[in-house]
């Protein structure tokens, strides 16, 4: 597994080693020891999730607040998505900045998103099968969100907003200035 730095020193792109021959291919999509060696992070994931989406489905920007905040390891098994990570730690030197990366079945890249970052993605192909590991169970009362069309974030989602398909809940997210956030100093809800 190769770890590739991103805009945020806490967020890593990961490239598992793929072995191919005349039969096809094999790779370890996750290995705890390799993950820890590549990122320097000791994380115990507790749940794996998958979402199947049509083209234009935009999920996010989501996060959970302490003490139920989540770190995620995300990837794509089918299709292609634009994955977006936003620093929501008040006081961070990169607060309000975002990082985008196409994740696809072809490039086999994974993205590690630690606590303190909002996350979302949009499906760019006819369908996508998105997978992610989390290190904390979903806790509805700790859910936070930011509107993906927040003008201060200026995220290029690669598809026009009129083509977005969102849940009703996702269309009602607040802008960053109104959202509950993390405190960079002590990583507590602020």
Domain boundaries, the chain: 45-183
Q: What is the mean pLDDT of residues 154-160?
A: 98
Q: Between 3.60.70.12, 2.60.120.10, 3.40.50.300, 3.40.1350.10, what CATH number should domain 45-183 receive? A: 2.60.120.10
The pLDDT of residue 186 is: 60
Catalytic position from the list 63, 121, 132, 184: 132
Closest listed residue to residue 144, CA positions, set 105, 116, 103, 109: 116
CA distances (Å), origin 34, targets 10, 29, 38, 134, 161: 17, 10, 6, 17, 39
Please give the full DSSP string across 100-158, using - where no structure is assigned: EEEEETTT--EEEE-TTEEEEEEE-SSEEEEEEEESS---GGGEEE--TT-TTT----S
pTM of the model: 0.93
Q: What is the mean pLDDT of residues 141-148?
A: 96
Residue 80 has pLDDT above 70, yes or no: yes
CA distance 94 to 180: 17
Residue 115 has pLDDT above 90, yes or no: yes
Closest listed residue to residue 139, CA positions, set 90, 92, 175, 189: 189
Write the pLDDT tens digit of every residue in 9-65. 999 999 988 888 899 888 888 989 999 998 888 999 999 999 999 999 999 999 999
In the residue annotation, 62 being an active-site residue is answered as yes
Q: What share of the chain is helix, strand, coil (3-state, %, to 5)?
A: 10, 45, 45
In the residue annotation, 132 being an active-site residue is answered as yes
Q: How much of the chain, in percent, has pLDDT values that exceed 90?
A: 81
Confidence of residue 190 (pLDDT cuts 50, 70, 90): very low
Confidence of residue 187 (pLDDT cuts 50, 70, 90): low
Q: Is the separation of the CB atoms in 115 and 73 below 8 Å? A: no
- Tokens at residue 164, please? 């977005």
């Amino acid at each position: 597994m190769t770890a590739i730095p991103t805009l945020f020193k806490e967020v890593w792109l990961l490239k598992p080693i793929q072995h191919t021959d005349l039969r096809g291919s094999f790779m370890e999509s996750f290995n705890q020891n390799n993950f820890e060696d590549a990122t320097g992070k000791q994380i115990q994931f507790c749940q794996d999730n998958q979402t199947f989406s049509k083209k234009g489905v935009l999920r996010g920007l989501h996060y959970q607040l302490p003490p139920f905040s989540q770190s995620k390891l995300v990837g794509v098994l089918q299709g292609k998505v634009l994955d977006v990570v936003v620093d929501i730690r008040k006081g961070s030197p990169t607060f309000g900045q975002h990082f985008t990366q196409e994740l696809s079945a072809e490039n086999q890249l994974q993205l590690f998103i630690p606590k303190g970052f909002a996350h979302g993605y949009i499906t760019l192909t006819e369908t996508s099968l998105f997978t992610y590991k989390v290190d904390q169970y979903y806790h509805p009362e700790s859910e936070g969100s930011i509107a993906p069309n927040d003008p201060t974030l200026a995220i290029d989602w690669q598809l026009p907003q009129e083509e977005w398909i969102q849940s009703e809940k996702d269309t009602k997210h607040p802008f960053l200035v109104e959202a509950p956030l993390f405190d960079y100093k002590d990583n507590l809800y602020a």
